[in-house]
Amino acid sequence: MDTITLVPRNNIGMPIEADVISPDVFANKTLDEIKSLLVWQGNTRAPLSEFFDIIGAPSKEPAIVINGDVSRVKYIGSNMSSGKITINGNVGMQLGYEMRGGEITVNGNADRFVGSEMKGGKIHIKGNAEDYIGCAYRGDWRGMRGGTIIIEGDAGNNIGGGALKGEIIIKGNVGQFCGINLRGGKIFVGGNAERNVGAEMVKGEVIICGTIDKFHPGFELTDEIDGTELGMDGTFLKFIGDNSRKKPKGVLYVLKEHNKHLIESKSKSNNCINDNISNNSNINNDINEMRKNKIEAIFNSGSTIVQGAIIKGGNKFTEEYVNECAVCYLHPNDYDILGQPQKVRVSRNGYYVVLRAFPNNNLQRGNIFVPRSIWANVIVEAYTEGTGSPNYKGGRVVVEPASDDDTILSAEDIIKSY
């Protein structure tokens, strides 16, 4: 097997789509033909040689080696069926998209959508990876259908979404919604997981060896098993779900040692107080001491009907708009824990906004709702998960009672302040 080596030049500004970088495409081509292969950059096409120095000997089964940072290069190894690609550096989005066979090794980090809808082969990332590993692509519900993806480090959100078959191994931590809509295959996580592991899961298997931060309510504990059954040490809690699905067969294994909070009484849990607190006249001293403390909550935002009517009328800088949008809705129990404040300060990563506070029974414990507006934008994460749109739902925030000196700013003052 002969090697074709690509060295990226420094002129890759706008990302390029280079699905031609594949052993299948390079096979049986002369070096000049390889250099002339076209890639997309924006709405124009240019030869591969404009962005890479290319050396090596043509072959029926060439191995491809990329020496350098290609984090602005998408679709490397797309649809490849055999051969090998080695990337000595970071790589961009859609690595191994619809891959059918062969092997890709990345000695660096990978961007989003690694192995999207892949059908076979192996992808090995020696560093970290971002969101949507082995997921369905936009507009489809069927994700990974075969093959193996190994991430030595951490990975982002929505790992294995919609996967039908195959195996995903994450040796580090993962973000939110790992295994969402999983329909088959296996996901292993050696580290911690954030909220809602296995949401909308139908079939398949997820193993979490670290701590799950916010557990998804749609799972039912059915057994405790010895880890040797899974080829690991320790005792694992076995859950079946997600029960939001009809007759779910999804299995979630969680290492008991790091997740005892999942089987402890709610009254002893650090983040879950008796749901009848607001109706209980005998509130204990421990809960009384928690009043007026700050709480961590999941932030959700969206447009309201009244807000939409105000916007259509062109009245964003009116008091009516402030009264509708500069507000924070909390579950009554959370509102009670905070001391039933008139105003709250909602903060994220050093940014905060002051809002009027209202209890609302339609919310779940630990969640808040702020109408999507300039006030919400202060605390919305700029992170877009590759969609081009900020994450208006699911971000982590801290909520605490506002002081007398805290003022609810107008839309104009918010803009001037930030």
- pLDDT 10s digits, 252-306: 999 999 998 888 633 343 343 334 333 443 434 443 444 458 899 989 998 888 8
Mean pLDDT of successive 10-residue stretches along the chain, which has 418 residues? 90 92 95 96 96 90 94 97 97 97 98 96 98 88 94 96 96 96 96 93 97 89 94 95 90 95 53 38 40 81 80 76 93 94 93 95 91 91 73 86 92 86
Q: Which amino acid is at 330?
A: L
Residues 357-399: tens digit of each pLDDT: 999 998 888 899 999 888 999 999 877 766 677 878 878 899 9
Distances (CA, A) of 200 to 86, 161, 177, 391, 394: 35, 10, 9, 20, 16
Q: Which residues pair with 124 in a beta bridge?
A: 105, 150
- What's the confidence (pLDDT) of residue 214? 85
Other beta carbons less than 10 A from residue 115's beta carbon: 33
pLDDT score of 66: 98
Q: Cβ(23)–Cβ(61) under 8 Å?
A: yes
Domains in the chain: ranges and CATH: 3-262 (no CATH), 292-417 (2.40.40.20)
Mean pLDDT of the chain: 89
Question: pTM for the complete prediction?
Answer: 0.74
Helix (H, G, I), strand (E, B) or coil at 167: strand
